[in-house]
Structure 1
């Protein structure tokens, strides 16, 4: 390559690269698609967690020297592939919900995947714009643009790559410091680092590579040390016998009748509770269910109390609660705690309700829109009132923090429930995931909960109606689990210490968000002051 004349204006500089390195548009699209597949595979099978660490590499190659509109398209293709794999079960959900034929269910699924995939498209558009002006900053700009845009993009709940890393315990330990988005940043930065190592840009990039490798090394050194320390620490903890009842109920929009041989006053779950109590359980948990009649029927409450007194076991169960507000009936999605004497000791009312399932967003109340939503969702839409506060169930020295269904998908909300007063706390999630059929969705749901337990350094219980139900230690190590899609009951001994609990993240869950927004602001301000780097055919990474 000939020397550049220093007298030439910067705008006229043209960087020459071997033509063999230039990629055709079709190859770029295939690379973007491959990257989305690699990022999505761990959601389909968690044993493939490693693929997400290299998933951004094909995308980054595709984005090199791409125009802004084409960068948007490449990111969109990547995002559609990612979300189609990560949430392929949406089609199954729609079939179970409305008995839609497969082609129509897939069409609705495709609409969702396209909408969700746009989040990655916009992320790549912003990254590419910054990269044109700050080509030497890609180790920061790519992960920051991705994490910030995906974090603010309006989805039902956050999309975090790292929540599929529940099987990769050394990598997971650092989320107790800054939360799941910190691991997202690290995974995306790893992709940029791999590309830079494959395409050596010389000394101008050496410092950035060294810093990135040092950050990676520090994260994993902390992870291995922390994992081992928690294993050793928990050897001295008490083992609390917890009973889980997994009924694997069939999906239904109707109020289910008791199984043959059982009644409202004595359901199958109560028979399982007696067996677990006899085996030594001090606390038994039932999952999210359609209807039990506990709040509505005096006879149900009295019979439950009688059995619990006889067996000397505490019970946490889910039911629909009816209350009265200014003479009008209001309904809550609720969990209640009954002590070993059968006395009700607390009620948790679900705070974060699920759009379309438990409430209708304001937009869909507009004339001409509400009827369409109600027609589609039908009886599945049961408007509920949200609860107003976090609740703690005191169970023999354990401070159980109950949450329902997809509340587990909101890291800062869960961190707020643990807070600074975290000693002795245990996270409890209950959910009903039968609507998604025999797919990977309940496995994804339980993986999210494992991450929440590590973020807040507390024991975690997630009881899923159709499994797999899991009990995990504060370092993510599983203490017990059930098989999925089966009727089971499980007695598991959960390590617990009254003086332990909480993390930096549970005390300061917003720290990383402030760092991300501040960093992106600085990057944008710096980029605005610069012109695209020489209109290069192959911008620096």
Structure 2
């Protein structure tokens, strides 16, 4: 008996939905790619700030049907390779649509200095999504190699896409922005599962849940049609119920004696790095820092720690004694300013000056302790990769942040950042906070909070800053640590270790946020102890089940 042809679509549900699935599966050429692009673009609606969870099903269900119809070629090996190639093309188009719809706001950064960068806007708005789409192309190809009719192909797609998302978050410095698991990672109840599975575990679960309704159109029996989507709903309900149970009824206790003031100056990006504005920018920060927020407020006298965002100065504060004197004079004894600031080292003879994107602590007596320097720099934003650097500089272009030679990444392992009066700090600057498992130092004492200083002013009032905050908030749940986040243009916020926001300043607002510091959970979460072990177990289980189902069908 000849094994069944796994590469041929097989639909048995005599329904209108089955007819739609047939038409999608049998599409070819540009129509197939256009359907994939449109489905992927719909998936972006499941991401922050929209959070429309059913949009994930609208994106993934047609993806299953398109992969059903990916059969091409003749001969066993040739057919398998051609089918994987067809699936990769579908996946690339799906990913291209997903990233164009989800990352279009990157174009705003090219308009801040339009005379320098506007000509390169297509590279950010279309070029980057085209490159990122290759990861989904790989994921779809891997899924199709595990494909078999019925429920098991849902597991195959979940395995392929979650593996591809893990690779996207790690290869070539990584870019885990809008990872598919964020569809679950922005809802307070559902995000609690990240404390066990992490972002990539949420990704596998999100694909399973979102793709399961595909069997409603393709199952041979009512049981085959309804079992996967009902199981998906049960898993979704279980995640929500377990998350609701995990969150305590009352607020987290506060760290005694700590009162924070986050300053959001809302300085336009085109003015922020202009040295001519140095005095006005410093005065704006100092004025907001000591402002009264209520009739009984005494400004800085009421807080213990003042927090300013990333790169607060259009100059090097360490080399500007006048500006430093203004700050120290404004700080009452015992109060400390934690601020983002570019800094430069003292080079050895014959070496060039190295610049760092850092965090400094300043007290009434001057600089306190050692700085924190950013480890994970933004490619093209803070530095140019080697070959690209030479090409772009040859035509007179540079990275977005106008620092000679670009920023230098910190060397060595991450360590807790020390701030007088605060528990050990897991510091991160801007982009660093999107990397699960990398925010919290693996050496030294367990931190008491995640501190994220950022400047999202490059992207204006777009989904970008909101997506960034949602990812930072999920790190708090993964690690069981409160999040303190100061942003130039928003979102500045404080969240407890369950991801509950205790206060925030929205995008585009100018002001200060006074909050106490919530305690951490007191013990490590499963994710902080085991990292992606649980995700790896889910991935391996999905692969083995998909292979087993394929093997059972192939046996005569």
TM-score bin, normalised by smaller chain: 0.7 to 0.9
Equivalent position of 2:158 in the other structure: 143
Equivalent position of 1:272 in the other structure: 288
- 2:186, 2:474 within 8 Å by CA — same for their partners in 1? no
Deviations 1:126-183 (A, max 9, x none): 2122104x75522422111101123214465114123355541111001011211111
Q: TM-score scaled to structure 1, two decimals?
A: 0.83
Q: How do 1:14-413 residues align onto structure 2 when only pairs under 5 Å count?
A: 17=12, 20=19, 22-23=22-23, 24-25=26-27, 29=33, 31-43=35-47, 45-52=49-56, 54-67=58-71, 68=83, 69-99=85-115, 105-106=121-122, 109-132=125-148, 136-153=151-168, 154=171, 156-159=174-177, 160-163=179-182, 165=184, 167-197=186-216, 199-202=218-221, 215-227=235-247, 229=248, 231-232=249-250, 234=252, 240-252=258-270, 255-257=273-275, 259=277, 262=279, 267-275=283-291, 277-278=299-300, 280-289=302-311, 290-309=313-332, 312-327=334-349, 328=351, 329-339=353-363, 342-364=366-388, 369=391, 371=393, 375=397, 377=399, 380=402, 382-387=405-410, 388=412, 389-413=414-438
Deviations 1:503-539 (A, max 9, x none): 12112213145436655775797699799899xxxxx
Report SS of the residue matched to 1:83.
helix
- 1:241, 1:491 within 8 Å by CA — same for their partners in 2? yes
- Aligned equivalents of 2:549, 2:270: Cα separation in 1: 54
Q: How many residues end up aligned between the 2 structures?
A: 516
Q: TM-score scaled to structure 2, two decimals?
A: 0.81
Report SS of the residue matched to 1:489.
strand
Report SS of the residue matched to 1:385.
coil
From 466, 476, 491, the equivalent of 1:453 is 476
Report SS of the residue matched to 1:491.
strand
Report SS of the residue matched to 1:113.
helix
5+ long unaligned stretches in structure 2: 72-82, 293-298
- 2:269, 2:458 within 8 Å by CA — same for their partners in 1? yes
- Aligned equivalents of 1:71, 1:427: Cα separation in 2: 41
- 1:356, 1:377 within 8 Å by CA — same for their partners in 2? yes
Q: Which has the higher contact order (CA 8 A, sep 6+)?
A: 1
5+ long unaligned stretches in structure 1: 1-7, 535-541
Report SS of the residue matched to 2:378.
coil
- Aligned equivalents of 1:282, 1:373: Cα separation in 2: 49
Deviation of the 1:409 alpha carbon: 1.4
- Aligned equivalents of 2:555, 2:180: Cα separation in 1: 31
Equivalent position of 1:537 in the other structure: none
Larger mean CA deviation between 195-204 and 397-406 belongs to: 195-204
- 2:425, 2:449 within 8 Å by CA — same for their partners in 1? yes
- Aligned equivalents of 1:298, 1:318: Cα separation in 2: 17
- 2:505, 2:513 within 8 Å by CA — same for their partners in 1? yes
RMSD: 3.6
- 1:253, 1:379 within 8 Å by CA — same for their partners in 2? no
- 1:49, 1:168 within 8 Å by CA — same for their partners in 2? no
